[in-house]
């Protein structure tokens, strides 16, 4: 389990996109900024449209021509975590493309190769990574529950032939003989938003990842569900790492906030938020009142003219309402109520690479300050 003493742990999200030097540079940057751990996405393609990326928008696009050129995160972890590197995990892989037998073997292998530094972060999945490849996403919560339970059973089987039947798989005398590393299994974190997946995280996981795309207030109800799942399994909810994944837009002043609203990647970022989050702040989502967010998004609908048209509704007021933005102090203030209630880890997604150089420099400066402030914060007792 990821422990950082009596303080908030901080991870940085890195997309493992070619060229390889850019992945290495982003890992080093995260360490310079002060991150405790590194989290890789597991995508077949980017959730952002290509119309939000290009040399005319960001100088980095000259060397990173495609946001869809993803390396496999497990291979990336094997290369860069090593025996002395930082703790690394996925935020997150899914329960659709990877079978439970494969997940059990690969992550126990990484557990050995990294000396216990690999964290399996897993969620229900996203349309962009499944349906274009002929895979069915639904029923996502049932599948996630089935896969997580099967992975745990494989790790606990100690090489004994295992018969285990779930809704989506059947094992008969299956053997998982790869031994634990120092009598331990890999940490397993479940990304959960809804009641069922949050209860699963409490019941089966070492950590819980809540994505703050539905608004910070939504964390409270989800935390109660996670704690209920833990107590039902005879676990202390306090023993589970409570992490929040979020994408702050860090800048120096209100003029920069106005400029951010004109950046295509920022507009795309807001459009990946669910319609419920827009409605909560009085906004109407351009993709419809039933849009569920990035897990429901086909990035093709945001290409070219569509992104330009939808992006016009993004105002500084809407941006400030939907996403933590401003200086490090402002963003910390948005998170502080959750920290007081037991949030003890965050994963930060940075959009700096997609911004103009001046905005990117200010973003990274404030991100470093934010990480320092978070690491100096003491989480409250978690007892929802």
The residue with greater pLDDT, 377 or 308, is 377
Per-residue pLDDT, averaged over 222-226, amounts to 97
> Looking at residue 215, what is its pLDDT?
75
Question: What's the token pair of residue 194?
Answer: 């809804």
* pLDDT tens readout for residues 230-270: 999 999 999 999 999 999 999 999 999 999 999 888 998 99
For the cut 80, the answer to whether the pLDDT of residue 294 exceeds it is: no
Per-residue pLDDT, averaged over 354-360, amounts to 90
For the cut 70, the answer to whether the pLDDT of residue 86 exceeds it is: yes
Phi, psi of 349 (to 5 degrees): -95, 125
For the cut 50, the answer to whether the pLDDT of residue 1 exceeds it is: no
Split at pLDDT 50, 70, 90, the class of 139 is: confident
* pLDDT tens readout for residues 312-334: 899 999 999 999 999 999 999 99
Please name each of the domains of the chain with its CATH number. Answer: 9-250+326-375 (3.20.20.30)
Split at pLDDT 50, 70, 90, the class of 97 is: very high
For the cut 80, the answer to whether the pLDDT of residue 303 exceeds it is: no
CB 229 within 8 A of CB 200: yes
């Amino acid at each position: 389990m990821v422990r950082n003493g009596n303080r908030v742990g901080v991870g940085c999200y890195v997309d493992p996109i070619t060229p390889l030097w850019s992945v290495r540079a982003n890992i080093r940057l995260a360490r310079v900024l002060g991150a405790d751990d590194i989290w890789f996405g597991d995508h077949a393609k980017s959730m952002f449209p290509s119309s939000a990326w290009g040399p005319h928008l960001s100088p980095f696009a000259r060397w990173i021509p495609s946001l869809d050129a993803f390396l496999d995160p497990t291979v990336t972890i094997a290369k860069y975590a090593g025996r002395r590197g930082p703790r690394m995990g996925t935020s997150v892989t899914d329960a659709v493309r990877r079978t439970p037998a494969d997940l059990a073997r690969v992550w126990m292998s990484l557990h050995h190769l990294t000396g216990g530094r690999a964290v399996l972060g897993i969620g229900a999945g996203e349309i962009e990574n499944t349906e274009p490849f002929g895979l069915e996403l639904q029923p996502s919560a049932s599948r996630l529950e089935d896969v997580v339970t099967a992975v745990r059973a494989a790790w606990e089987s100690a090489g004994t032939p295992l018969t285990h039947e779930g809704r989506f798989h059947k094992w008969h005398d299956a053997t998982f003989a790869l031994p634990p590393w120092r009598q331990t299994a890999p940490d397993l974190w479940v990304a959960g938003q809804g009641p069922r997946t949050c209860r699963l995280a409490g019941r089966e996981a070492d950590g819980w990842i809540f994505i703050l795309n539905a608004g910070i207030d939504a964390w409270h109800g989800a935390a109660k569900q996670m704690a209920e799942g833990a107590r039902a399994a005879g676990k202390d909810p306090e023993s589970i790492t409570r992490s929040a994944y979020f994408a702050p837009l860090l800048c120096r002043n209100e003029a920069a906030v106005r400029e951010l609203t004109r950046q295509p990647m920022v507009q795309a970022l807001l459009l990946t938020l669910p319609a419920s989050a827009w409605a909560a702040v009085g906004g109407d989502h351009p993709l419809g009142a039933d849009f569920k967010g990035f897990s429901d998004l086909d990035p093709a609908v945001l290409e070219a003219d569509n992104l330009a048209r939808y992006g016009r509704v993004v105002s500084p007021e809407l941006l400030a309402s939907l996403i933590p933005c401003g200086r490090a102090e402002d963003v910390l203030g948005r998170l502080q109520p959750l920290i007081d209630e037991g949030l003890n880890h965050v994963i930060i997604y940075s959009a700096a690479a997609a911004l103009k150089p001046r905005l990117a420099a200010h973003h990274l400066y404030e991100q470093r300050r934010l990480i320092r402030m978070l690491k100096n914060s003491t989480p409250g007792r978690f007892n929802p």
